[in-house]
Amino acid sequence: MIPEYLIRAVLASVMVSVLLGMLSPLINTKGLAFLTHALFHALLFGAVLGMILGLLLENFSLVMLTALIVTVAVVLTIAQLERMGFSPDSAVGIVASFVAGLTVLGFGVLYRVMAGRPYFPLSQSIVSYLTGEIFLITLNDLMVLVLGGALLFFVMLSLYRDFLYLSFDPEGVESYGGNARAYLTVLYVLVGTAGALIVQTVGLITLQVVAVLPGAIALMVSSDVRKVLGVSLLLTLAVQLSSVVLAYFTDIPPSGLATIILGVIYGALLFRG
């Protein structure tokens, strides 16, 4: 008899694989790896703020919603700074530095609130948010992930060709009447929203690695767009599922296993080349 929590973990892994498998090539071709660094700070600040609100309002479900709102606000701010003429790296650096300061301040406030409202599961949730605990995902969490992931999937599917054109020829998009900055803003929001949806299963510490490496590996294997997308999807799915199975038998966090597997594959391809 397969445990119910393992079934939920496998289903969550499939949805995470679809989202990351599709986004990772875009992150690499558009040069958004540094953006995922800003997402780290945004998601952490959003989680801390959500935990503070959850304690004060006695509603712990506010954590994911707050993290999502904060992350989308951060990526929209980065997009706006780019519209104002800042380079992508400068825009990300400015916003990430500001959010990092807010995160430190938020932790100070969180500790004070926790001292007055002891809530042990919150301490566990902070650790699981950082490392990812896919085996602890509840049915409600899975429903949110599947429904939200399906929405993001169809949005990406409808705009994927435009995103590819944007990655390789933004001037061409403008010449054909497209709004390159609008597409870029939508892509930023998709990356931020996907990060907020999957961070509890993947883990904040390893999110940047699993978001970047599948696409990077796929681009090392092939230059054909369809093959790159196929390799990214299959690789992400294989790594996510194998890490869940290995974690089930070894009690090692699956997010750490997934990161190690991807790192080994990437290193092997580098040395082979």
Kindly tell me if the per-residue pLDDT of 273 is higher than 70: no
DSSP string, the chain: ---HHHHHHHHHHHHHHHHHHHHHHHHHHTT-HHHHHHHHHHHHHHHHHHHHHHHHHT-TTHHHHHHHHHHHHHHHHHHHHHHTT--HHHHHHHHHHHHHHHHHHHHHHHHHHHHHS--HHHHHHHHHHHH--GGG--HHHHHHHHHHHHHHHHHHHHHHHHHHHHHH-HHHHHHTT--HHHHHHHHHHHHHHHHHHHHHHH-HHHHHHHHHHHHHHHHHH---HHHHHHHHHHHHHHHHHHHHHHHHHH---HHHHHHHHHHHHHHHHHHH-
Mean pLDDT calculated for residue range 78-104:
87
The tens digit of pLDDT for each residue in 128-181 reads 777 777 888 888 888 989 999 999 999 999 988 888 887 776 676 666 666 778
Q: Which domains does the chain carry?
A: 4-272 (1.10.3470.10)
Kindly tell me if the per-residue pLDDT of 115 is higher than 80: no
Average pLDDT value over all residues in the chain: 85
The tens digit of pLDDT for each residue in 212-255 reads 999 999 999 988 888 999 999 999 999 999 999 999 888 888 88
Q: What percent of the chain has pLDDT over 70?
A: 92
The tens digit of pLDDT for each residue in 166-189 reads 777 667 666 666 677 888 888 888
Q: Structure pTM?
A: 0.86
